[in-house]
Structures are given as C-alpha cells and as structure tokens.
Chains A and B, each alone.
Chain A
C-alpha cells in the first residue's frame, strides 16, 4: 500500500496524530497543557452543581469546620485539657481541620471522580488526570472560604503571629497538603476503577487517619519512637506541623518532618505513575 509509505514521509508534519499502543511511560505534560481549559470547565461545573444542589451553599462550607471546632473544643480541649499554649485550643484545632478537611474531602471526591465521570471517559479522549485534579480544585475553594474564617478568628483571639514565618510556613504547609492529596487522590481514583470496594474503604481509612494526624492534639503522644516514625509517613504530619509553625513557638522534630515530606513526594510519584500506567484502559473497564 502506498499509503503506508506516505505516512513515513509525512511523519515530521506538525499536525500528525499517531495512535499507537502505549509503550513508554511519560507524564505528557505538554498534552495536559493543551487541554488546560478543561481543568477550568470541570472545576467550574462541579462547583456550580455543588452549590446549586445545597440550599445552604456557602453557609454550609463555613458552618462545617466551625461546628467541628466547637465539638472538639468541648470534648478534647475542655474535658481532656490538652495544652496547646500559646495558641488557644479552638484555633489549634481549626488550623489542623482547615488542612485536614481539604485533604480528606479531596481524596474522597478524587477517588470517586473517575467512576462518576465514566460516561464521559467512555466517549471522549482527553488527559484523564484532569478529572481527579479538578476535583481537588473544587475542594480547594471550600478551603479558601474556611481560610477566611480562620484568619478572622486569629484576629478575634488576637493571636500573636510571627508574620515572616507565616508567609513562609503557610504556603509550605498548603503545598504539602496539595501534593499529598494529588498523589493519594490520583492513586485511589485509578484503583477505584479496578477495585470498586475502595469506595467504602477510603472514607473509613480517612476517619482513622484523622486520629493519627496532629489535628486534635499536638505531637504524637506515644511511648515508642518507632510509632512516631510510622505515623510520620502520613503527609499531613508535615503539612499541619509546618502550617502551625508560625502560630506557636515550637521546636521541630526534624527527622519526622523529613520522613513525612519524603513520603508525600513518594505518594505523588506513585500516584501519578500508577494513574498514567492504567489510564489507557479506564474506558474498557469503567
């Protein structure tokens, strides 16, 4: 067939698209960039739908963390008398919940996102990573709203903050949270396509993880050092610890921070790798 010879001679043409079996691994960021508008549209759609369907809308986003702060303050702060000086306990809990709620809600929605968008995946091609990433962005909007409330509370309690370390540590804590959520979220979204029971395992796992993260109480209260090391595998250890660093004078447990940061990066690499490796076949099994 002369058509086959043609294709070789024209290979260097710019708008040639070659469809082949997946061979080598690549993140293919140029393609993701070409489809960047889809991030916006998926996020925009989910935000719209989310707030259209709830009557309370933004009020709910504000109320949810505030109610949790109230409950935890009553039960842990008062009853167990946890010391968090110089930060008042409500603010201590809020700072942890701020990141934790984002982390857990984005992992749950990202985990289910591939299944929820299965009709689209089965019909149209685009870089699949856009789907779990945009569900992360949806949760990020909740975080932004809650953050405003948090800052207002800092002002109300007249907390003595070190402005410089806040400017350094807040973005750092947020970054680790984002990276961890993206890694674990994309890993779980790919796994959920194949193993449907992850849908039920993940929320349960996150509930457990809340209690081993430094959300409700300060550093891990443990007898053995190795338990501390194990718990630091959690990306949220580094994220929350760093986020609070500008608010309370504390000494870092550097090895634990390193473990947590490295583990966050490993989660990201693992998540993106597994996702890219399996995404081509999502349409066959979703």
Chain B
C-alpha cells in the first residue's frame, strides 16, 4: 500500500547559546562585535529520523520528555523547518495541539469560531457550512454573542475543541490534548479520535499515556534522544519503552537528590529518598505524587502541607527520608511516582519522568474494577440498622 506520509532522514539542529535567550538586544550584538562571537553549543533534537505511515493507520509516537516528539510534530505541522531530510505528505495535516489558537478574549464566541477556523486552514465557506454543528458540539449556543473573556475555561476549551474537531484532515496529529480538560472532555477527545480512525483517516498520536496509545494505535515509533529506537507493533514498542523507564527506584550521580525508591511492604508503600545538598537544609521538604497511568494525580503531599513536626531533625547537608504511606490503599496495577525535593523556600529537584511501580494485593477486597470503583480503595466503617 502506498504510504500517505514519508519521513525521510529528518534531522533538526538547535544552537543553544549559553546566554539563555535565543534573541538578543541590538546593544548586546553591537558590543559582541568587539568581544568576538559567543560560543553556541549544537544540539541535535532529531537525528536521521525515518519512517512512513500508510493511509488509515494510527501511529503512536512515544518517548521520554526531550526525546524529540514535539520537535517532530512541529516539523510535521511546518512551524519550524528541518535542518536536513524531507517529509512527503499526501494529505492535509491538521493537529489538535492547535486547540484554541488565535482565540481572542475580546471577541465573541461566534467571531472566534470564524477566526480560529480560518487560522486552522478552513475556508470561510467551510466554516459557514459546519457552523451549526460546531456550535452544537460545543454546547455554548446561549453565549455565542458574548465575548469569550466571560466564558469559563471549560467553555473556552469546548468551543476550541469543537472547531478543531470539524477540520477534516487526512492526517490528524494529536499531542497529549488528553492531558488537559476534565474527564468529560477527554472522553470526547478519545471518541472523536476513534471516529476519525474509523473513517479511515490517519492519526499520529503522541502521548505519555501508554494505555491510551495501545488502545488507539496498532503501530508505534519509539524516540530516544532524537533517534528512532524502535518501530513496529505497538505492544512491542510500549514494552521496550517500559524497559527504558525506571522501575521502583532511580539513582542519580549529581544534584541534591541521589536516590528515590518506592516499595510495597504488606499493606503500606514505603518511599525512601536520600539527598546530598551543597548547603545546609533547614527543612527537608519532600513532595510526592502518586498517579495513575493516565497521569492523573491520585494521592500526594509534603511535610509542609501535612504540617509535620521534624523533631529531632538537625539541619544538615545530607540525609535520608523515609515515608510510610499506610493510607490510601491502591488497587492492583501499575502507578507512576513523581517526587519533588527542596527546603522551606525553594525546590531543588523534581523528577522529569515518572518512576513506575506495581501494587499487588494491598487490600483483601475482591472484584474491584478501576473503571467503576476507582484506583483508591476506601476504608469504611459499615453500620447496618
């Protein structure tokens, strides 16, 4: 079958200047003339990336933060050009990372539908033709002539998604829109994507949510440090991605946090973090967040929020913190752990990629189903009269 999208040896080079900002002031440029050129460090965000997509295929693109997923999408949507290589596309590309682009707070809902639709590449006649459907889908018909600055953020999001959903591209790029919005909205997104896939159109789906990727896509590309690490059946790709991620523990050579570990011990979870900082820490503030595989936070806190009394802790530069989490209890399954570390004022460290851990038989409960009962097992006192 002929491919609809060919990505051929795409590379993208960024020059990172150590000044921090990519733009300059003219004054700096002029003074720079006398000091010689500032050193710029090359950084290859993508290196020789090639793969192709057949029509009607749903392809998942996965990889850690900074692996080059967003850069690839930006090149695909022509926002930034590749440094070398080329992409041949045989259909209109639209992306759901554009949700709400060009919305102006002073304009009314009606005006924004036209503005946004036209920026997304719809003709005025196309917008007029699907205007009623868009309004219907968004559910804001009563506020059409109100400036959207008076809308709730949920309404704005719904309106934006309604416009984007009525683009009819051959190739749809979806970049973790599922991470924003409420459950209702996420369901809508997933439904729309299934519809699109059902109509035989092509989807490129970028996400950290492995469950959603496996549910939607048959094939996958695994990017690692700007290169294609794996390409093929989605289950294999997800497996190799999981092999790359941290399980239960993480050790670091540099920085203030040296190791993070989480283990299930009976009916509790035990989180252990050791740290080494270059200054004395008055109040070692360790925050954690346990999330489901969709990235939704389930439970988290830090000693400051919990108003923990640290006696007999004596301020020092290094130490170890042990947190025993006896409640809540979690259902069987895989969870993500994110950790922050700092003192009473600032954060020194945060995990960029989650640490994955398994929970088995934490509670004697039976027949639970995460879809209905949730991941957290409530502890209840039952009284029957």
Asked if A255 CB lies within 8 Å of chain B CBs, one says: no
Contact, CB under 8 Å: B50 / A1: yes
Segment of B103-111, B211-219, B341-349, B358-366 in the binding face: B103-111
Q: Which residue of A lies closest to B11 (CB)?
A: A21
Contact, CB under 8 Å: B88 / A195: no
Within 8 A of A (CB), among B100-146: 101-102, 104, 106-107, 111, 114-115, 118-121, 123-124
Contact, CB under 8 Å: A19 / B76: yes
Asked if B75 CB lies within 8 Å of chain A CBs, one says: yes
Asked if B334 CB lies within 8 Å of chain A CBs, one says: no
Contact, CB under 8 Å: A194 / B24: yes
Asked if B191 CB lies within 8 Å of chain A CBs, one says: no
Contact, CB under 8 Å: A18 / B86: yes
Closest chain-B Cβ to A192's Cβ sits at a distance in Å of 9
Contact, CB under 8 Å: A1 / B52: yes
Contact, CB under 8 Å: B6 / A37: no
Determine the interface band of chain B, counting residues with CB < 8 A from chain A.
Answer: 35 or more
Contact, CB under 8 Å: B119 / A41: yes
Contact, CB under 8 Å: B124 / A37: yes
Contact, CB under 8 Å: A194 / B23: yes
Contact, CB under 8 Å: A124 / B119: yes
* A244, B3: Cα distance in complex, Å: 62
Closest chain-A Cβ to B324's Cβ sits at a distance in Å of 45
**A198 touches which of B14, B22, B26, B98 (Cβ 8 Å):** B26
- Report if A284-B14 is in contact (Cβ < 8 Å); known contacts: A18-B88, A124-B119: yes
* A222, B86: Cα distance in complex, Å: 58
* A120, B77: Cα distance in complex, Å: 13
Asked if A4 CB lies within 8 Å of chain B CBs, one says: yes
- Report if A125-B79 is in contact (Cβ < 8 Å); known contacts: A38-B119, A53-B106: yes
**B78 touches which of A41, A49, A52, A125 (Cβ 8 Å):** A125
Q: Which residue of A lies closest to B117 (CB)?
A: A41
- Report if A120-B101 is in contact (Cβ < 8 Å); known contacts: A20-B82, A48-B106, A281-B80: yes
Contact, CB under 8 Å: A123 / B124: no
Asked if B27 CB lies within 8 Å of chain A CBs, one says: yes
Asked if B89 CB lies within 8 Å of chain A CBs, one says: yes
Closest chain-A Cβ to B62's Cβ sits at a distance in Å of 21
A21, A194, A198 — most chain B CB neighbours (10 Å): A21
B8, B81, B107, B120 — most chain A CB neighbours (10 Å): B81
Asked if B297 CB lies within 8 Å of chain A CBs, one says: no
Residues from chain B with Cβ under 8 Å of A48 in the complex: 106-107, 111
Residues from chain A with Cβ under 8 Å of B92 in the complex: 15
Closest chain-B Cβ to A30's Cβ sits at a distance in Å of 16
Asked if A164 CB lies within 8 Å of chain B CBs, one says: no
Contact, CB under 8 Å: A280 / B80: yes
Contact, CB under 8 Å: B82 / A21: yes
Asked if A33 CB lies within 8 Å of chain B CBs, one says: no
- Report if A49-B104 is in contact (Cβ < 8 Å); known contacts: A10-B2, A18-B87, A283-B74: yes
- Report if A283-B79 is in contact (Cβ < 8 Å); known contacts: A124-B120, A195-B29: yes
Contact, CB under 8 Å: A41 / B114: yes
* A22, B121: Cα distance in complex, Å: 22
Contact, CB under 8 Å: A124 / B79: yes
Number of A residues near B (Cβ < 8 Å) is 45
* A45, B14: Cα distance in complex, Å: 34
Within 8 A of B (CB), among A160-200: 193-198
- Report if A123-B26 is in contact (Cβ < 8 Å); known contacts: A19-B82, A49-B104, A52-B106: no
Closest chain-B Cβ to A73's Cβ sits at a distance in Å of 36
Closest chain-B Cβ to A39's Cβ sits at a distance in Å of 10
Contact, CB under 8 Å: A6 / B6: yes
**A22 touches which of B23, B26, B81 (Cβ 8 Å):** B81
- Report if A193-B118 is in contact (Cβ < 8 Å); known contacts: A7-B88, A19-B75, A21-B84: no
Asked if A254 CB lies within 8 Å of chain B CBs, one says: no
Residues from chain A with Cβ under 8 Å of B8 in the complex: 4, 7
Asked if B90 CB lies within 8 Å of chain A CBs, one says: yes
* A283, B97: Cα distance in complex, Å: 15
Contact, CB under 8 Å: A284 / B22: yes
Contact, CB under 8 Å: B101 / A124: yes
Residues from chain A with Cβ under 8 Å of B300 in the complex: none
Asked if A55 CB lies within 8 Å of chain B CBs, one says: no
Complex interface bits, B140-167 against A, C-beta within 8 A gives 1, otherwise 0:
0000000100000000000000000000
Asked if A83 CB lies within 8 Å of chain B CBs, one says: no
Closest chain-A Cβ to B333's Cβ sits at a distance in Å of 35
Residues from chain A with Cβ under 8 Å of B266 in the complex: none
Within 8 A of B (CB), among A110-127: 119-126
Contact, CB under 8 Å: A120 / B119: yes
Contact, CB under 8 Å: A122 / B115: no
Contact, CB under 8 Å: A21 / B89: no
* A284, B12: Cα distance in complex, Å: 11
Please list 10 pairs of residues, one from A and one from B, whose beta carbons are closer than 8 Å in the complex, sorted by A's number.
A1-B52, A4-B8, A7-B3, A10-B2, A18-B89, A21-B83, A45-B107, A49-B104, A123-B77, A283-B74
Chain A residues within CB distance 8 Å of chain B: 1, 3-4, 6-7, 10-11, 13, 15-22, 37-38, 41, 44-45, 48-49, 52-53, 119-126, 193-198, 201, 280-281, 283-285
Smallest CB-CB A-B distances: 6 pairs: A3-B52, A125-B78, A19-B87, A285-B22, A7-B88, A195-B26
